[in-house]
Structure 1
Amino acid sequence: MPQPNESSTTFPSTSVDWTRKLISYDTTSRDSNLDLIAYIKDYLSGQGIESTLTFDKTGKKANLFATIPSATGETTGGIVLSGHTDVVPVDGQHWTSDPFKPELRDGNLYGRGACDMKGFIGVTLQLVPRMLQTRLAHPVHLAYSYDEEIGCVGAPSMIQDLIDRGVNPSGCVVGEPTSMRAIVAHKGINVYRCRVHGHAAHSSLTPKGLNAIEYAARIICTIRDIADGIKANGPYDDAFDVPYTTVQTSMIRGGIALNTVPDLCEFEFEYRNLPGSSPETILQQVRDYIDSTIMPSMTRENAAAKIDIEKLARSPGLDAAEDAAITQLVRALTRDTEIRKVAYGTEAGLFQAAGVPSIICGPGNIEQAHRPDEYVSLEQLDQCEKFLIALINSQAA
């Protein structure tokens, strides 16, 4: 289990110190986040706040949800402050400093996750005492999820738990890096793995085999054709930085030796659909091509041929209503009226799909995320702190 690079005996007192502490936990998505979750849980427990954990099926990762109740003890309704605890890998990247030993340089805090998005989580934790001291008319909830970076995998179980317990939040702010500007929409994420099963043979006897790589290549080319068709014909939404649904193949594996006809090839593909457009349409186009063209050709060569498509992750797009109370509140607090939409995905779409109006606003610039020498500026952390203090005050009785 990953260990922090700093002592866990005391809790930080400022947003910068909290962010430094969180960065010191290596919570790369392929690893566990339980040490970080335990640390946060212990801190909240010391503040008299109970946490609810929802685990993945391995028990090695967990979401944390906690509620600061209203002055009258109410724990339903209220606003959720949501962020993800996982970070992307640093493999192959050249960092000036250790990515999990945060450094302050030139007014910036460097480290993996500083921007995406431990800065936001750090600010929310630093403000817990203020939340407790404020006579809240409505509760404030903290939601910290796992595996957002690989398709918002963790958040669904946490949100389902909220539904089952009748928490019924009235709004959600997801603190992804937006330079503290309001983001009202993002695309949906859909990730699939396709496995093409052929038949192995010595390469000198290719007619006796069934080449899985070659048939997988045909499917991949069709996926590219689908992407090109959408780019050329739409639909479009010019408020997005990439104004149409995108489709791509990202990973491929197959073959065991040069002189062997490969009996298996698997690849992953993803598409990011505009909110309001059906994500099923693209998958159905891929399936239709396989059923009408690829499978008949394959089975003529070998009756045992098979193709499987497995869903790895799916998260719906976000399209916040301008008249929603949470949208109006964030716009008022940030004094930002511009309509901004982004191609990346967040758990905001999942909260919205569960009936919780949501919006995105957090410290840092998304262009710094996932890169070597990732950082968040101290100015952005300060802006986030002022924003959340104003949000807390807006919930006062």
Structure 2
Amino acid sequence: MHASAQTQHHPRLDAAVSHLADLIAFDTTSAYSNLAIIEHLRRFFAALGADVTVLPDASGEKANLIARLGPADVPGIVLSGHTDVVPANPKSWTSDPFHMQQRGSRLFGRGTCDMKGFAACVMAAAPAFAEGNLSRPFYFCFSHDEEVGCLGAPAIAKHLAALDVPPALAIIGEPSEMQLINGQKGKIAMEVTVHGDGGHSSFSPQHVNAVEYASRIIAMIGERSRRYQHEGPFDTDFSVPHATTLATIIEGGVATNVTPDACRFIFELRSIDQDASQADMQALIADVEAALLPEMQALAPNASIEWQEVFSYPAMGDATGCEMFKQLEPILPARGGKVSYGSEGGVFEIDGGIPSIIIGPGSIRQAHKPDEFIEMDQLGQCLAFFDELDTWMRR
């Protein structure tokens, strides 16, 4: 894809590229503190005269930021992004992942599309937002730890919900190629530890092999995924139109001649329905335990299966029926359906009561990969949308 003349020469594109280079230079991998980038954002928005709130987490090592431009006594719009990025192994990259590099129409660096490109466009547009009088407020929200379970967003959503006049709609800037996304799957990540009964492998029939039973649980998880695929429920607006389950990490065993007494694995459930995911997870757990625990405990009474939720976030519902969406619809991009990847949209809905949609520059196909990039044309399209949004917010 090559940048179009219309968006390539947007008057604020150079500013967006400059801001993006600054943001990429902060290594905000989720394992590290994000306080430096939050301070960078705080200073920027404060200099524009925004009302800025920083929400530290309990550890003091992470924080969220909320900045408001415009009146506080009427419903406004949230522009939301996360500050953290997934890890980047420099050996897998052809350039420094935390030093943005331009090659032709593409900007390379960890987070360029997911999702510092959106933040850079917000920063490039914000000085124009700050000029004159807005009839409605913008709330610029930047969270921590989205990539490891949407851990920061609930505090933002609850803060906004507690305002005298909360926002009426949230636009989540996840990479959607600047299409309007009106639905997103929820996810539960579950850690399972199988506690068996080990010993010398020559006596294996007398043992409860934890690796073997873990594999049988994983087979049941796979079967559950196939049932979703064939039986639904279905929503064809999603790229994958049904729920999915998938085992992702496994470890167990200590030696080739020892029956394993423990095995740990992690699996996920991605659901198309906000209400069904927890019930589906509990039904899966009940089926597994009914099928396997009696057999395990007949050999070793202390054998067990331990379930520990790693994290979860809710699905994002369809906000197209809400009043603010209907008012904004004439300026919104074309609809791109619903997505299977996660976002903070469901958190804004559940914890904040704020209907949410996704519109952001870049392609999700570039996210989480070596040599992540964003097309400059995508930044231009985002800036053009912000121009229209700015005009609408002054009506």
**Equivalent position amino acid for 1:251 in 2:** I
In structure 1, distance between residues paired with 2:85 and 2:389: 27
Select 1:180's aligned residue among 173, 178, 183: 178
How far, CA to CA, are the matches of 1:14 and 1:318 in structure 2? 32
Q: Residue 295 of structure 2 is aligned with which of 283, 294, 297?
A: 297
Conservation of the 8 A alpha-carbon contact between 2:135 and 2:394:
yes
Could you tell me whether the CA contact under 8 Å between 1:219 and 1:286 is conserved in 2? Answer: no
Contact kept in structure 2, 1:80 and 1:142, CA below 8 Å: yes
Shift of 1:111: 0.7
Query: Matched residues in 2 for 1:134 and 1:317: separation?
Result: 37
Give the structure 1 partner of residue 30 of structure 2: 29
The structure-2 alpha-carbon separation of the partners of 1:244 and 1:93, relative to structure 1 and needing over 3 Å to count, comes to farther
Shift of 1:93: 6.2
Aligned counterpart, 1:8: none
Bigger shift: residues 252-261 or 77-86? 252-261
1:204 shift after superposition: 3.5
Q: Tell me: CA distance 1:101–1:329, structure 2 relative to 1, closer, same or farther (3 Å).
A: farther
The SS at the match of 1:319 is: coil
For residue 104 of structure 2, the aligned residue among 100, 103, 106 is 106
Paired residues of 2:52 and 2:66 also in contact (CA < 8 A):
yes
Equivalent position amino acid for 1:25 in 2: F
Which residue pairs with 1:46 in the alignment?
Answer: 47
230-239 or 45-54, which deviates more: 45-54
Q: Distance in 2 between matches of 1:211 and 1:253?
A: 13
Runs of 4+ in 1 over 6 A off after TM superposition: none
Equivalent residue number for residue 240 of structure 1: 238
Q: Helix, strand or coil: the match of 1:149?
A: coil
CA contact (8 A) 2:161 2:353 kept: no
Q: Does 1:273 align with 2:271?
A: yes
- TM-score normalised to structure 1 length: 0.90
Equivalent residue in structure 2 for 1:340, among 337, 340, 345: 337
Q: Which of the residues 292, 296, 307 maps onto 1:309?
A: 307
Residue type at the aligned position of 2:55:
T
Equivalent residues of 2:252, 2:260 under 8 A apart = yes
> Does the 8 A contact of 1:190 with 1:313 survive in 2?
yes
Q: Hey, what's the Cα distance between the residues in 1 that align with 2:214 and 2:247?
A: 11
- Tell me, yes or no, if structure 1 residue 60 matches structure 2 residue 61: yes
Amino acid at match of 2:365: E
Measure how far apart 1:390 and its partner are.
1.6
Give distance in 1, aligned partners of 2:162 and 2:333.
36
Q: C-alpha deviations, 1:235-273, integer Å up to 9, x for none? A: 112221111111111111112222322222111111111
CA–CA distance in structure 1, aligned partners of residues 274 and 369 of structure 2: 31
AA in 1 matched with 2:61: K
Residues 76, 166 of structure 1: 8 Å contact kept: no
Q: How does 1:185-264 map to 2 (within 5 A)?
A: 185-206=183-204, 209-264=207-262
Long gaps (5+) in structure 1:
1-11
TM-score (norm 2): 0.90
**Which residue of the partner structure matches residue 3 of structure 2?**
none
State the distance in 1 between where 2:370 and 2:105 align: 17
- 1:352-371 aligned at under 5 Å gives the runs 352-353=349-350, 354-371=352-369
State the one-letter code of the partner of 1:169. Answer: P
The equivalent residue for 1:142 is 140
**Counterpart-to-counterpart distance in 1, 2:165 and 2:286:** 42
**How big is the shift at 1:147?**
1.7
Deviations 1:281-330 (A, max 9, x none): 32123211233122212221222222221112211112223232443355
| SS of equivalent to 1:295 | helix
Distance 1:238 1:13, change over 3 A: closer
Distance change (3 Å), C-alpha of 1:324 and 1:359: same
When structure 1 is superposed on structure 2, of 384-393 and 114-123 the one drifting more is 384-393
Q: Residue by residue, what CA displacement relative to the aligned partner does 1:5-50 show, whole Å, maximum 9, x if unpaired?
A: xxxxxxx981111111111111112222221112111222333334
Per the alignment, residue 10 of structure 2 pairs with none
- Name the CA distance, whole Å, in 2 between partners of 1:301 and 1:263: 13
Looking at structure 1, the residues matched to 91 and 76 of structure 2 have their Cα atoms a distance apart, in angstroms, of 41
Mapping of residues 88-127 of structure 1, within 5 Å? 88-91=86-89, 94-127=92-125
Q: 1:350 aligns with which of 338, 347, 351?
A: 347
Task: Please list every run of 5 or more consecutive structure 2 residues that lacks an aligned counterpart in the other structure.
Answer: 1-12
Instruction: Give 1:162's aligned residue.
Output: 160
- Return closer, same or farther for 1:260/1:50 CA change in 2, 3 Å cut-off: farther
Q: Distance in 2 between matches of 1:343 and 1:243?
A: 9
Deviates more, 1:85-94 or 1:230-239: 85-94
Q: CA deviation at 1:108?
A: 1.5
- Alignment partners' CA distance in 2, 1:121 and 1:156: 19
Q: Output the CA distance in 2 between the equivalents of 1:221 and 1:255.
A: 19
Q: How many residues align?
A: 382
Whether contact under 8 Å (1:93, 1:372) holds in the other structure is no
Structure 2 equivalent of residue 18 of structure 1: 19
One-letter code of the match for 2:345?
A: A
Bigger drift between 180-189 and 292-301 goes to 292-301
Alignment partner of 1:380 is 2:390: no
Once the two structures are overlaid, the 10-residue window that deviates more, 170-179 or 317-326, is 317-326
Aligned to 1:85: 83
Q: Which amino acid aligns with 1:211?
A: N
